[in-house]
Amino acid sequence: MPFAPYRRVLAVPAARTALLLGLFLRIPMFAGGVVLTLHIVQTLHRGYAEAGVVSALATICIAISGPWRGRLLDRIGLRRTVVPSIIVTALVWSVAPFVGYLPLLLLAIPAGLFVTPTFSILRQAIITAVPDAERRTALSLDSVGVELSFMLGPVLGVWAATTWSTTWVLFAAEMLTVVGAIAVWVVNPVMRSEGHDADAAHLPRREWFSGAFLAVLAAAAATTLVLSGCDVAFVAAMRGYGAVGSLGPVLAVWGLGSALGGLVYGALHRSLPVFALLAGLGIVTVPLALASGPVSLALLSFVAGLFCAPTITATVDAVSRVVDERARGEAMGWHGSAMTAGSALGAPVAGAAIDLQGYAGGFALVGLLGVLVATSGWATVRLRRRRRAAVDVAAAA
């Protein structure tokens, strides 16, 4: 695998800073989600369903905040957008770990609505920092960073929560996210190329909220639907094997496959179509249903993981290319909301299939849904292109 493209990206100081900031911000973020569940179950003595309600409410609020906070990035800039997030997050999480279940549930609302739009900020900074030819490589590195954070954050969170009080571990994890947001404010990464005036950044939504953009959002939602559905199916499979203790290593192999796939995709000389990668993700997910034990599941998950990071990277790259950079903040917010919606749908969809057909049904259903969305999206895009070509021919005649 050629590493020259990655050396070129890492040689750019702004890109290198954004990638490092991403690791610093996301590890405590992923740790905090796991610690919050453990805190509700172990310290507040509530059920997993009640912990799920808190997570679901926060997820809904994060999905709502994505486009809104992204639009603020476009219109008033990074620092003025991030300051309210820093203040609200610090206030909420200085109280939430020390209260009962109902106040914690209510505090999840402002916490979700005012979450720092780190994914949107960092991806815009990376896109702006590198030439167009290096964009896919840089975004692939960012996706690999997300995978590393996803693998490290929960492990560190569970270790800390089983060593010390979940109250103080939750407080520490969320305060680290506040420190990360302050670091973003201090660094203030450039998110718009030279020549674009931030005060004139407003671009009417009707000029960019197009069919092509909606198609990318559908692909992003389908991608996370497949991934979150697999999360549930992995748990069901390992319980069925009587090997729940090996769940962590299996998920780590899955993540390793994703990280390797992201690196390979970033080193390619040309991009691959979003719907082709989504179809590939769905196709390699279905065989997970054939696993007969932890070893075979791990091997199949490594293959399935190869398409995870590339598909997510392709959706981010596509958004950056179909939307003018003056509206890129809001567009990235919509992209994040689509991925959040897909994640929220994946678990219940896979869960329903697991209840009927076991873990094999969960893997098979979400994989087939990924292929279905990819096929439908590809057909829709081709149809729109043919219609546009027909209109152009008629206009020329």
pTM of the model: 0.79
d(C-alpha 6, C-alpha 12), whole Å: 10
| Same-domain pairing of 219 and 310 | yes
| Same-domain pairing of 265 and 166 | no
DSSP conformational letter for 307: T
| Same-domain pairing of 183 and 144 | yes
- Burial (Cβ within 10 Å: 0-12, 13-18, ≥19) of residue 353: buried
pLDDT digits (tens, 9 = 90+) for 351-378: 888 888 888 999 999 999 999 999 988 8
| Same-domain pairing of 187 and 230 | no
Q: Identify the domain boundary among 202, 232, 255.
A: 202
| Same-domain pairing of 117 and 66 | yes
| Same-domain pairing of 79 and 120 | yes
| Same-domain pairing of 166 and 246 | no
| Same-domain pairing of 163 and 252 | no
Q: Identify the domain boundary among 178, 202, 226.
A: 202
Segments of the chain with pLDDT less than 70 = 1-2, 48, 193-202, 385, 387-397
| Same-domain pairing of 193 and 255 | no
| Same-domain pairing of 185 and 260 | no
Nearest CA-CA partner of 89 in 55, 60, 58? 58
Cα 97 to Cα 35, 46, 237, 327: the distances in Å are: 10, 14, 33, 37
The residue type of 329 is G
Nearest CA-CA partner of 34 in 150, 147, 134? 150
Domain that holds residue 184: 1-202
Q: Which pLDDT value is given to residue 236?
A: 85
Q: Which residues fall within 8 angstroms of residue 380, CB to CB, at 6 or more apart?
A: 211, 215
Contact 285, 363 (CB under 8 A): yes
| Same-domain pairing of 292 and 175 | no
Q: Which residues of 31-70 are buried (b: 16+ CB within 10 A; e: fewer)?
A: bbebbbbbbbeeebebeeebbebbbebbbbbbbbbbbebb
Q: Which pLDDT value is given to residue 33?
A: 78
Q: What's the CATH number where 222 sits?
A: 1.20.1250.20
Our count of domains for the chain comes to 2
Q: Identify the domain boundary among 153, 184, 202.
A: 202
| Same-domain pairing of 188 and 240 | no
